[in-house]
Copies of this chain bind each other. A is one copy, B any other.
Amino acid sequence: MSRLRGSVTIDDVARHVGVAKGTVSRVLNNYTDISENTRKRILKAVQELGYQPSATARNLKRGRQDTLGIVIPVGHGNGADPFLAEFIDGIARALDELGLDLLVTTAHSREHLITTLKRLIARRKVDGFIVTRTEVDDPRIAYLMEQKFPFVAHGRTGDPSSYAWFDIDNETTFADGVRHLYSLGHERIGFLGGSLDLNFARQRRDGYRQGLEALGLAHDQDLETLQAISEKGGFKGAQTLLSLDGPPTALLCATDALAIGAVQFCRKLGLQAGSDVTVIGYDGLPVGEYLDPPLTTFSQSAQEAGGRVARMLIDVLDGKSPQSLQALAKAKLIRRASDGAPSMTSEALALALRNRLNQQPLSGSKGE
């Protein structure tokens, strides 16, 4: 595996002009102690020979890689996360303007996540990390802080006080969601969430509770269900909640994937999402617009978030204090057609559901 690309080096340029290589370097790095004449000759030679400095050699001396890293957790669900794809796009765009690059690796378990982090740090392949999908008690963040290695988190952990992060105000967003549903006329509002290990899932659940409390609505533990964050999980969650004696007339879902599965369950029972049952998601996935009914969802621009986080990390590398780099954004409700005033009360819904279920016993989940 040899990669002996016989490319032009700084020595070639120096020899071509007849100066020392240090001089060439100084010209290229805009030092002032070079005569105009020499500068021109060197620049011309650089042009002619098509010289570009080797990032590796430069990095070795500078101790910097001009490369940021991101480790993506994969495999604990089905396929890649559409949010992350746009997020990475946003990062790459921001970095491109600064001449930095992004190293992407994946990890399929918690241990592997840390192993990969360690390897990249030890080998000095990156200058800093972007951490996504933070957990309440996140081993990656613990490790990076312990190592004092620069990073920025997209999402917070249980104690977000001492590192840089960018996050959505999940609590407020979900409290707003509850308020929105209440204003539509819903009083029994269900929450379909994900594992509380994930910080955003916990915050969204908390926001849901806060929303209920602010409105003086009773909190009913039965109206909360936590599932795997996937369409399948959404299907099961909707099944759980709608099988209650007093089913919710609206389902606030922690992600679009959950909402999509919930809508599917409704359709399976012949319920119209948007009138018989209201379903709201979160993520603003483009495909939501093409579902039936088009999905009402909270949206943040993943691309924008990526750019923002990348720039924050660069600030950290420039020596800014991480504590001063903490920002909260709000998600926007995109109303499409899966929400609306309830067409029946919880009691009527329960009755309708009982009839359907008797007619048509469930197969448990959509199967292949």
Contact = CB atoms under 8 A, between A and B. Distances in A.
A259 to B, nearest CB: 10
Contacts of A93: 74, 106, 108
A63 B2 CA distance: 7
Interface stretch (A121-129, A211-219, A323-331): A121-129
Nearest to A102: B104
Contacts of A264: 290
Contact of A64 (B2, B96, B125): B2
B105 A5 contact: no
Given A52-B122, A290-B231, A63 B104 contact: no
A54 interface: yes
Contacts of A107: 96
How many copies altogether? 2
A231 to B, nearest CB: 5
Contacts of A95: 105
Given A7-B124, A79-B85, 17 more contacts: A1-B314, A3-B124, A52-B119, A54-B124, A55-B125, A56-B56, A67-B103, A72-B89, A79-B86, A92-B106, A95-B105, A96-B116, A101-B104, A102-B105, A103-B104, A231-B287, A291-B292
A149 B67 CA distance: 22
A117 interface: no
A3 B86 contact: no
A88 interface: yes
B106 A103 contact: no
Given A80-B82, A89-B74, A123-B54, A267 B292 contact: yes
Contacts of A105: 92, 95-96, 101-102
A321 interface: no
A286 interface: yes
26 contacts: A1-B314, A3-B64, A3-B124, A3-B127, A4-B63, A5-B63, A50-B122, A52-B122, A56-B56, A56-B60, A67-B103, A74-B93, A79-B85, A79-B303, A80-B85, A80-B86, A82-B82, A85-B85, A93-B108, A96-B105, A96-B106, A104-B104, A231-B286, A231-B290, A260-B287, A294-B366
Interface string A251-289: 000000000110110010000000000000000001101
Interface size class of chain A, counting residues whose CB lies under 8 Å from the partner chain: 35 or more
A317 interface: yes
A317 B3 contact: yes
Given A85-B84, A88-B104, A124-B7, A291 B289 contact: no
A121 to B, nearest CB: 8
A363 interface: no
A59 interface: yes
Interface in A70-120: 72, 74, 78-82, 84-86, 88-89, 92-93, 95-96, 99, 101-108, 116, 119-120
